[in-house]
Amino acid sequence: MHDWNWKTIIEPFKIKCVEPLGFTDRPERECVLRDAGFNLFNVPADKILIDLLTDSGTSAMSGEQWGGIMRGDESYAGARSFYAFERAVRELTGLREVIPVHQGRAAERILFSILGGPGKTVIANTHFDTTRANVEVSGAEAVDLPAAGALRFDKPGPFKGDIDTAALEAKIREKGRENVPLVVMTVTNNSLGGQPVSMRNLRETAEICRFHKIPLFLDCARFAENAYFIKLREPGYAGRSVREIAREMFSYVDGCMMSAKKDAFVNIGGFFAVNDKALARRAREILIIGEGFSTYGGLAGRDLEAMAIGLGEILEEEYLQYRIRSIEYLGEGLRRHGVPIVEPPGGHGVYVDAKRFLDHIAPERYPGQALVCELYLTGGIRSCEIGSLMFGRRGKDGAFEPAPMELVRLAVPRRVYTQSHIDFVVEVFGDIASRAKSLKGMRLLEASEVLSHFTARLAPEA
Ligand SMILES: *Cc1c(COP(=O)(O)O)cnc(C)c1O
């Protein structure tokens, strides 16, 4: 259906199985939020009306995938489902050594425990938070080199997920190539607005890496959304199928790691794929200690079956057209109410720029988290702060170091919500926008060292 010219966005699926939403009233939400320490990660899901916390593991599987769940082969070693999964990953990526893991961060932990370590520097367009944590836990340093303009949230651009190739070249020379074990391209660039990486940038990065003999990996949680953006926006790709575009993306890299909880529609799963046999052998040794045997990697056979099917379904162009357009529609709705967003809307969600929206709240008072709490109180909507609560730090002298951005991510689960749910979210934003200046900041009461946003407790300012 490449001739779809109607204005109405229709979901390219119909609904066979439904779940109730969590309706609450305002006094109940106030109580729930206080008990949760004003951290939405602590709120029970049945107290949430629309859950935009994450698109990770929250998508709806298809009838085909549920059928695959029944057909899954639960043999301990060499299950039929493993070979179906291995075939799907090989066909998509062209990479030979395929290692299943229970989710993306398990692949990261294995990879960086081999390639990381003190004195090493891993470079990325932008590390996702668990990726950064796994690099740093190994003792290595994680350096982000987003392209110029990526942090200019108000200025749209077609490929704001790109890496700054000149800065990459300079950083490799500064650190010495022997100290840079890996360059990672995150597609799409999750932490900076779900923005895509262009094929051209990927190709140039691959040339730089090849020249310095540094392996290039894709963190490919949202490879299909990225490929679809290339089809829409990059000259020369309009006539190519998304599958061909995805194959070309993978053709430039030496390996990839994927959280299949994103673009494979599954509720749990991931993988790691490379051509380097020696690296794969070491990874399998670590896998067996912590995750499981190399043909299941901490998953059930049925999970492997569902992943294999999901990796095919995600490349259906009617789905991707709807997906990208529906997110864009959410962005248009917020813009209409004067809510500043990261422009343009990303592939898996819209990111509200709380620094501009709530410019009367200083970064050390967590404007993003203030908006997250207000969205819940007003509409029962759960969202996620990507700002100083997630990335802010205390310097050596105890001084607060804010994150470079104060964003609130509205991540949309795949195939779960309908367009009327999206309209409701827009309506709630309209209400909040009309009284934005009366919102108050937050105080941080307690937080852990690593990935503190999962455990932090806060309180509203008096
Ligand atoms: C989700 C995600 C990860 C981590 O994957 P999990 O499955 O949550 O462990 C890594 N990188 C990116 C870009 C992600 O979006």
What spacing in Å lies between the alpha carbon of 252 and ligand 1's midpoint? 21
Name which residue sits closest to atom 3 of ligand 1, judged by CA: 104
Determine the residue type at 272: F
Q: What is the pLDDT of residue 450?
A: 67
Q: Based on the fold, state whether residues 44 and 70 are members of the same structural domain.
A: no
Q: What is the pLDDT of residue 452?
A: 75
Q: Based on the fold, state whether residues 51 and 158 are members of the same structural domain.
A: no
Assess if residue 147 is contained within a domain.
yes
Assess if residue 262 is contained within a domain.
yes
Q: What is the pLDDT of residue 451?
A: 67
Q: What is the pLDDT of residue 447?
A: 80
Q: Based on the fold, state whether residues 279 and 212 are members of the same structural domain.
A: yes
Q: Which of 313, 334, 353 is the last residue of a domain?
A: 313
Q: Based on the fold, state whether residues 349 and 411 are members of the same structural domain.
A: yes
Pocket of ligand 1, candidates 190, 220, 256, 263: which has the most ligand atoms within 8 Å of its Cβ, to mutate? 190
How would DSSP label each residue in 139-195?
A: T-EEEE-BPTTTT-TTS--TTTT-B-HHHHHHHHHHH-GGG--EEEEESSBTTTTSB
Ligand 1 — pocket residues by CB below 6 A? Answer: 56, 103-105, 128, 130-131, 186, 190, 219, 221, 259, 261-262, 270
Assess if residue 9 is contained within a domain.
no
Q: What is the pLDDT of residue 3?
A: 72
Would you name the residues annotated as active-site residues?
A: 76, 128-129, 219, 221, 262, 453
Determine the residue type at 327: I
What spacing in Å lies between the alpha carbon of 262 and ligand 1's midpoint? 8
Q: What is the pLDDT of residue 358?
A: 98
Q: What is the pLDDT along the chain (462 residues), one digit of tens a residue?
A: 567 778 899 999 999 999 999 999 999 999 999 999 999 999 999 999 999 999 999 999 999 999 999 999 999 999 999 999 999 999 999 999 999 999 999 999 999 999 999 999 999 999 998 999 999 999 999 999 999 999 899 999 999 999 999 999 999 999 999 999 999 999 999 888 999 999 999 999 999 999 999 999 999 999 999 999 999 999 999 999 999 999 999 999 999 999 999 999 999 999 999 999 999 999 999 999 999 999 999 999 999 999 999 999 999 999 999 999 999 999 999 999 999 999 999 999 999 999 999 999 999 999 999 999 999 999 999 999 999 998 887 777 778 899 989 999 999 999 999 999 999 999 999 999 999 999 999 999 988 766 677 889 999 998
Assess if residue 300 is contained within a domain.
yes
Name which residue sits closest to atom 8 of ligand 1, judged by CA: 104
Whether the CB-CB separation of 428 and 371 falls below 8 Å is answered with no
pTM of the model: 0.95
Q: Number of folded domains in the chain?
A: 2
Q: Rounded to 5 degrees, what are φ and ψ at 375? A: -60, -35
Q: Based on the fold, state whether residues 302 and 407 are members of the same structural domain.
A: no
Domain that holds residue 273: 63-313
State which ligand 1 atom lies nearest to the alpha carbon of 191. Answer: 13
Assess if residue 17 is contained within a domain.
no
Residue 71 burial (C-beta neighbours within 10 Å; 0-12, 13-18, 19+):
middle
Q: What is the pLDDT of residue 2?
A: 60
Q: How many CA atoms lie within 13 A of 240 on its CB side?
A: 20
Encoding tokens for residue 320? 């991707």
Q: Based on the fold, state whether residues 269 and 405 are members of the same structural domain.
A: no
Assess if residue 428 is contained within a domain.
yes
Whether the CB-CB separation of 266 and 57 falls below 8 Å is answered with yes
Q: Based on the fold, state whether residues 32 and 83 are members of the same structural domain.
A: no
Assess if residue 391 is contained within a domain.
yes
Give the count of beta carbons closer than 10 Å to the beta carbon of residue 220: 30
Q: Which of 283, 313, 343 is the last residue of a domain?
A: 313
Q: What is the pLDDT of residue 455?
A: 83
